[in-house]
Amino acid sequence: MQLKKRDLIVTALLFLFTFGIYPIIWFYTTVTALNSDLDSIGSSKKRISFIPAFLIGMVTFGLYFIYAVYVWCNSLKELADSKKVTITDPIVIFIVYLFVPLGLLLFQSNVNKIAEAN
């Protein structure tokens, strides 16, 4: 599975009109594709799958999920570097995700850059 380019406006509208259900689907498909792409480049960095992160995050009141997002942001940077694509700094993506309700749009815009390079 490869990272998929998604329209940011449609993603934002789905986020709002599904009352938070779409971000769960979005995270699952995006993280699964990210981990698959990292496997294809032979990365040995730590990976976190979505379902365990989501379930452990529920038990830890979201703390583990926040850590998982941090790892995913760094993984996105590693994939971008391997494809010679310039993306936003992973720390900026992570901070925007934490404090802005639609922060996943910044993550998706960087995914779009990588998907275009494929």
Give 6-41 pLDDT, tens digit per residue.
999 999 999 989 988 999 999 999 999 999 999 888
Supply the pLDDT for residue 74. Answer: 92
- Within 13 A of 15's CA, how many CA atoms are on the CB side? 17
Supply the pLDDT for residue 78. Answer: 92
Supply the pLDDT for residue 69. Answer: 92
Supply the pLDDT for residue 20. Answer: 83
Supply the pLDDT for residue 45. Answer: 76
pLDDT at 118 over 90: no
pLDDT at 82 over 80: yes
Give 39-67 pLDDT, tens digit per residue.
888 877 778 899 999 999 999 999 999 99
In whole angstroms, how far apart are CA 52 and each of 9, 19, 28, 62, 74?
29, 22, 11, 12, 18
Joined tokens for residue 71: 């790892």
